[in-house]
Structure 1
Amino acid sequence: MAKTTRIIDEAPALPELQISPEKVCFIIAKAREFDAKDAVSDPDPGSNASDDKMTSVLEDHADDPVVEELTSVINDMNEDEQIDLVALVWLGREDYSAADWAEVRKEATRAHNKNTARYLLGIPLLGDFLEDGFALLGRSCEKFELDHL
């Protein structure tokens, strides 16, 4: 009787990220706050914000604290973390597949410069692209969202 060898498909190993899942999830949450902003309807409001039902917090002002916080967090990251963020966005935009992670990261390394925060904040739906890229690599922010409730 001949022996048969059964090959068990193993799930491909998740690529190692240089950025922590907590940081990615924080950027996703903040990017969604930023993406939700609307155009400024009154560039020079003279009244009290509480009298206007705080609608100005939903408008995209130049001194937006969400933009300032995101810019600060991204600028404080090391180069490898910034490269991973850009690569995750490109992956989430479906410019590449998860199997191309090494190639995506190499391309993001070649493109890296000191304007990462400005570049990322200029991408509409940044939070969605980051989350999609993160998910393509088998990761999720679900645990972090539950931990912070």
Structure 2
Amino acid sequence: MKHGIGSEDTEAPELAIPIRKVCFIIAKAYEFDVKVAVTEPDAGSNPADDNEIAVLQDHDDDPVREELGSLISELSIDEQIDLVALMWLGRDDGQAVDWEEVREQATYAHNKHTAGYLCGNPLLGDHLAAGLDALGLSCSD
């Protein structure tokens, strides 16, 4: 895949994480991003009577957040590094020529809190998608 940068074409870098995994994480991040703050922590009413509105609230034990965190934690270290680098690239409007530098910074910053760090970004899905786009890649590939 080629991505135009200025007057030169550059090949997209080989990612350690498959694009399909990134796209699945983007989809899960979007599911989590639509959550809103809990307005009544202990309503005491029947969820069916409340039109199941609690499913759209961001509870500490939210199953979507837990699933997203588990997905990221189960990735290899190289895949986690690529995911962080993609998010940083997308967040900062980077370009493909910046990839090696951004990935090197993500390698240096990697630790056991990567899943929590990524899940704590309210625009994770958007940033990952923008990171893929910066490399000339997308979930429709």
Q: Which has the higher strand share?
A: 2
**CA–CA distance in 2 between the matches of 1:117 and 1:110?**
16
Shift of 1:45: 2.3
Q: State whether structure 2 residue 89 is matched by structure 1 residue 66.
A: no
Per the alignment, in what secondary structure is the counterpart of residue 42 of structure 2?
coil
| TM-superposition CA deviations, 1:74-115 (whole Å, max 9, x none) | 110000000000000000012632211011100000000000
Residue equivalent to 2:105? 107
Q: 1:88 aligns with which of 65, 79, 86?
A: 86
**CA–CA distance in 2 between the matches of 1:50 and 1:84?**
42
Q: 1:23 aligns with which of 21, 24, 38?
A: 21
Gaps of 5+ in 2: 1-6
**CA–CA distance in 1 between the matches of 2:138 and 2:94?**
19
Instruction: Quote the sequence identity (%).
Output: 61
Matched to 2:119, the amino acid is L
**CA–CA distance in 2 between the matches of 1:72 and 1:43?**
25
The structure number with the bigger radius of gyration is: 1
Paired residues, what number? 135
**CA–CA distance in 1 between the matches of 2:48 and 2:122?**
29
Structure 1 segments, 4+ long, off by >3 Å, are none
Give the structure-1-normalised TM-score.
0.86
| TM-superposition CA deviations, 1:102-134 (whole Å, max 9, x none) | 111000000000000000111121100000001
Per the alignment, in what secondary structure is the counterpart of residue 102 of structure 2?
helix
Residue equivalent to 1:54? 52
